């Protein structure tokens, strides 16, 4: 079982690799990767999308991703 940080970072990398770009949005991540993240973390919480948003903020603070614009786009660094 992975931690939420490991699962979300892995999902971001998978998303970017699959689409061959480094910029993504929270909604893209929810649409394409939230279910695998939930499975990977064995999450049973009621608000996994909110947890993912918190983890995205943590990853941004750690320097793994950065904001690109005010429309909610991120870049994998």
What whole-number distance in Å separates Cα of residue 2 and Cα of residue 21?
25
Are the CB atoms for 3 and 54 separated by under 8 Å?
A: no
1 pLDDT band (50/70/90 cuts)? low
Statement: the pTM of the whole predicted model exceeds 0.85: yes
* 30-66: pLDDT as tens digits: 999 999 999 999 988 889 999 999 999 999 999 999 9
Is CATH 3.40.1390.20 the right assignment for the domain spanning 4-76? no
54 Cβ contact partners less than 8 Å away, ≥ 6 residues apart = none
5 pLDDT band (50/70/90 cuts)? very high
34 Cβ contact partners less than 8 Å away, ≥ 6 residues apart = 48, 49, 52
What are the extents of the domains in the chain?
Answer: 4-76
């Amino acid at each position: 079982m992975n931690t939420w940080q490991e699962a979300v970072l892995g999902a971001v990398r998978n998303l970017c690799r699959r689409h061959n770009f480094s910029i993504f949005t929270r909604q893209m991540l929810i649409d394409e990767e939230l279910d695998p993240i939930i499975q990977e973390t064995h999450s049973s919480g009621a608000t996994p999308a909110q947890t993912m948003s918190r983890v995205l903020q943590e990853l941004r603070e750690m320097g793994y991703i950065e904001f690109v614009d005010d429309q909610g786009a991120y870049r994998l660094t």
